[in-house]
Amino acid sequence: MITVNGERHPWHAGLTVTQLLKEKNYVFPMIIVQINGAHVREEDYPAAPIADRDDVAVIHLITGG
């Protein structure tokens, strides 16, 4: 089990940031992902592993003026 934005989410072996974003249907054009407080670069999403019990934050950036 992992935590995503404060909610529990099932974990499975081989889970990456890209897979998690698809599973959670996060399609925002501008997001930031952190695993256990550490920033994950967007280009690393496909290979960035998420371990069992990790705390993941997916932050949707909003711009305005």
pLDDT at 50: 98
Residue 59's beta-bridge partner residues?
32
Q: What is the pLDDT of residue 27?
A: 85
Read off the pTM.
Answer: 0.90
Output the pLDDT for position 65.
62
Q: Could you give the 3-state DSSP secondary structure of residue 17?
A: helix
Query: Which domains, ranges and CATH numbers included, belong to the chain?
Result: 2-60 (3.10.20.30)
Asked if residues 50 and 17 have their Cβ atoms less than 8 Å apart, the reply is yes
Local confidence pLDDT in tens for the 65 residues of the chain: 999 999 999 999 999 999 999 999 998 889 999 999 999 999 999 999 999 999 999 999 887 66
Amino acid at 9: H
